[in-house]
Structure 1
């Protein structure tokens, strides 16, 4: 029987300069990614996004600007060392949210929950394609196409 996909949310947080927040994973030094996390049983994706954003980077005040219209799937590579709770999944199916937060990376609290990031920083959206692990690059390309124009529109309207 085929393994299922794990339901997950991802958050692209941008600031007033149009830069996006990425974190360097503790277990993938040199790889920077957007905050993301699992959806609990019975939890709505939007609520999961707000909870995970707080747990991973300590942000409570981000405004959801846009929701990616579909779920995006990716497979875990064979070579990936998965934690025991992820071994039962083929990969993840993700609902992504674009969120505005005009704080500073230094204001993020990475110790709220189980620490996942070594550090966080804001970078130009385009740069995330070269900083993310290769198996997530296709997902990030879709996010860039969908979200970047919305960031520009949102900032222009402020």
Structure 2
């Protein structure tokens, strides 16, 4: 039987300069990615996104601007050393959110929960394509294509506050 995909949320957080927040994973030095995490049983993706953002980077006042219209799947590569709770999955199916937050990378609390990132920084959106692990590159290309125009629109209009 084929293994199922694990339900997961991903968050692309951008600031007033249009840059996006990426974190360097503790277990993958030199690899930077967007915050993401599993959806708990009975939890809706929107709530999971807010919870994971708080747990991974300590952000609680980000504004959800847009939700990717469909779920995006990726497979775990054979070479990946998975934690035991992920071994039962073939990969992840992700609901992605675009969020606006005008804080500074140094304001992030990386130890709010179990620490996953060594450090975080804001970078130009396109740069994430060269910093992410190769097996997530397709996902990130879709995100840049879908979210970049939304960021540019938002920047033209400014925050709703």
Question: What TM-score do you get using the length of structure 2 for normalisation?
Answer: 0.98
1:54 is the counterpart of 2:54: yes
Tell me the distance in 2 between the aligned counterparts of 1:24 and 1:14: 16
Tell me the distance in 2 between the aligned counterparts of 1:113 and 1:155: 31
Q: Which residue of 2 aligns with 1:138?
A: 138
Q: CA RMSD in A?
A: 0.2
Kindly report which structure 2 residues correspond to 1:26-105, keeping only aligned pairs within 5 A, or say none: 26-105=26-105
Aligned residue for 2:84, secondary structure, equals coil
Following TM superposition, by how much is the alpha carbon of 1:54 offset from its aligned partner in structure 2, in angstroms?
0.2
Q: Give the count of matched residue pairs.
A: 158
Q: Which residue of 1 aligns with 2:148?
A: 148
Tell me the distance in 2 between the aligned counterparts of 1:84 and 1:50: 25
**Unaligned regions of 5+ residues in structure 1, if any?**
none
Question: What TM-score do you get using the length of structure 1 for normalisation?
Answer: 1.00
Deviations 1:7-38 (A, max 9, x none): 00000000000000000000000000000000
Following TM superposition, by how much is the alpha carbon of 1:151 offset from its aligned partner in structure 2, in angstroms?
0.2
